[in-house]
Structure 1
Amino acid sequence: MSAPHPVRLAEMTTLEAADAVAAAPVVIIPAGAFEQHGPGLPLSTDWLRAELVAERVAAGLAGRAVIGPPLPVGVSPHHLGFAGTVSLSTTTFAAVVREYAESLHRHGFRRLLVVTGHGGNAAALGTVAQDLLALRPELEFAWTPLSALAADVIAGQRPSEVHGHSGEAETAQMLHLAPHLVRTERLAAGTTSRAELDPLSRLARRGGHPTLAVRYDRLSRNGVLGDPRRATPEDGRAIVDAVVARITAFVEEWLAA
């Protein structure tokens, strides 16, 4: 009995990859970060979430998308105050994404979707998108965050006043996707209210524009925004299901355009 046809380019032979150009016109590139996620979540949290969401999206597209090479390290200078964090500069990260795109374009792929589990990659991805419009106008390049795509679902779960990194929503997703990697006994609340922030940090967390960047060791002593102890696998499933459905719907419409 032959093995099932792989959905990851990494698992294909070069002949299968050539066939995939016509059969699976969208390449999904999971991007993440290698950074602290508080005392209870692994350094690979953002990359793992992107990988596992990409798997589900590709499965839902039934052979019309393949998963390309991942980007497990992202733009994380704001987390370097915590042990284990590894960061790329925006220039390096953007260059790698562009060179991935150039290589895939060379072989005939014309639609690339980067699924990023790390918000710190967003600015660089926006820059790459603009560069590719000029350099490769025939290449359609899209990117999407994860949690922000399900902001309405997360709001309905009533997280802390201050929440986000390693907080309720991110921990819930990991409890659903990779529970074996969550150190539940070490989960601890971080900054949960604006009253706990110093004036500069309150300004940085105000949202909207103007925007201000600050280091996470200033925002939170343990690197957590919110209270991950309140997270549940059921909440994680609701977030992930919404994200997968919305990305899949986008790609379906993209392929029909």
Structure 2
Amino acid sequence: MSGRGTVRRLAELTTEEAASAVQNSPLVIIPAGAFEQHGPGMALSTDLVRAEHVADRVAAEVDGLAVVGPSLPLGVSPHHIGFAGTITLSTTTFAAVVREYVDSLHRHGWRRVLVVTGHGGNNASLTTVAQDLLVSHPDLEFAWTPVTALAAEAVAGMGVGEVHGHSGEAETAQMLFLAPHLVHPDRLVAGTTSLAELDPTARLSRRGGHPTLTLRYDRLSATGVLGDPRRATAADGESIVDAVVRRIAEFVRAWPTA
């Protein structure tokens, strides 16, 4: 999928252009990522890279309806802190940053904001912010979306194993398509691929239909990888990204402007 229009980034506008953009581009898309381990073969910025690319492609696809705001490069990653290079914000700090960011946009007249998060660890905080904004900013409409989860069919089509996810087939495929220079194919290794490989407590944390149990990733995988990234291809990544962009763009076009 190729965008039909140009990408307007708030960071590249003057203050006068930003004032006009409030009327001409009533939606701000905010890419949110994380700075955390992605196994031996992928960059710490993987989640942000994917979010930024998706945000740009959506903005191009909806041609003029949206501007892309400054990225949020750090996220909620305490579950990856056992691996070198990981930097995390607390849930409170991340939520406060998002809330104050959105409040600034609101002061200048924007009433629709969409956060594209490449990191699942941000989801709970974004949900909390959304609930708070219903009270503090009742005239603001705040939405957020994950990336990979919107392309479940494309991911399933890759033939992923029983355990997959972080730094696995789907994430690696996206990076091979979007930023291949940040992937080291010779260093990709299989991580945890089956429930049988996990200790009993970690096994419980990966099963659906049960109470949620949050564990650090070094309890789930010695390499920080869930799945087998060696099976990923750039073609798979293109299918995933296309599906994600299409679904988000459809949402944006259907989102009433008033």
Same fold (TM over 0.5): yes
Aligned partner of 2:45: which letter? S
State the partner residue of 2:23. Answer: 22
Map residues 56-135 of structure 1 onto 2, 5 A cutoff: 56-135=57-136
Cα deviation, residue 186, structure 1? 0.3
Cα deviation, residue 156, structure 1? 1.7
CA distance in structure 1 between the aligned counterparts of 2:77 and 2:182, rounded to whole angstroms: 21
Structure 1 unmatched runs, 5+: none
Structure 2 unmatched runs, 5+: none
Q: Is residue 7–residue 59 contact of structure 2 (8 Å, CA) maintained in 1?
A: no
CA distance in structure 2 between the aligned counterparts of 1:130 and 1:94, rounded to whole angstroms: 11
CA distance in structure 2 between the aligned counterparts of 1:108 and 1:230, rounded to whole angstroms: 46
Q: Percent identity?
A: 72
SS at match of 1:121: helix
Q: Is residue 6–residue 12 contact of structure 1 (8 Å, CA) maintained in 2?
A: no
Gap change, CA 1:124 and 1:203, over 3 Å in 2: same
SS at match of 2:37: coil
Map residues 173-252 of structure 1 onto 2, 5 A cutoff: 173-252=174-253
CA distance in structure 2 between the aligned counterparts of 1:20 and 1:8, rounded to whole angstroms: 10
- Residues 62-99 of structure 1, C-alpha deviations (whole Å, 9 max, x = no match): 11100011111000000000000000000000000000
Determine if the alignment matches structure 1 residue 157 to structure 2 residue 158: yes
- Residues 15-71 of structure 1, C-alpha deviations (whole Å, 9 max, x = no match): 110000000000000001000000011000000000000000000011110001111
SS at match of 2:142: strand
Q: Is residue 8–residue 67 contact of structure 1 (8 Å, CA) maintained in 2?
A: yes
CA distance in structure 1 between the aligned counterparts of 2:16 and 2:257, rounded to whole angstroms: 27
Cα deviation, residue 256, structure 1? 5.8
The number of residues matched between the two structures is 254
CA distance in structure 2 between the aligned counterparts of 1:224 and 1:124, rounded to whole angstroms: 24
Cα deviation, residue 208, structure 1? 3.6
- Could you say what the CA RMSD is over the residues aligned between the two structures, in angstroms? 1.2
Aligned partner of 1:96: which letter? V
CA distance in structure 1 between the aligned counterparts of 2:252 and 2:88, rounded to whole angstroms: 30
Determine if the alignment matches structure 1 residue 38 to structure 2 residue 39: yes
Aligned partner of 2:244: which letter? V
Aligned partner of 1:106: which letter? R
Cα deviation, residue 207, structure 1? 2.1
SS at match of 1:234: helix
Aligned partner of 2:106: which letter? H
SS at match of 1:203: helix
CA distance in structure 2 between the aligned counterparts of 1:42 and 1:162, rounded to whole angstroms: 21
SS at match of 1:131: helix
Q: Is residue 26–residue 257 contact of structure 2 (8 Å, CA) maintained in 1?
A: no
- Residues 133-179 of structure 1, C-alpha deviations (whole Å, 9 max, x = no match): 01001000000000111112111211111000000000000000000
SS at match of 2:214: coil
Aligned partner of 2:147: which letter? L
State the partner residue of 1:254. Answer: 255
CA distance in structure 1 between the aligned counterparts of 2:55 and 2:88, rounded to whole angstroms: 22
Which 4+ residue blocks in structure 1 deviate beyond 6 angstroms? Answer: none
Gap change, CA 1:206 and 1:26, over 3 Å in 2: same
SS at match of 2:154: helix
Aligned partner of 1:217: which letter? D
TM-score by length of structure 2 reads 0.96
Aligned partner of 2:160: which letter? P
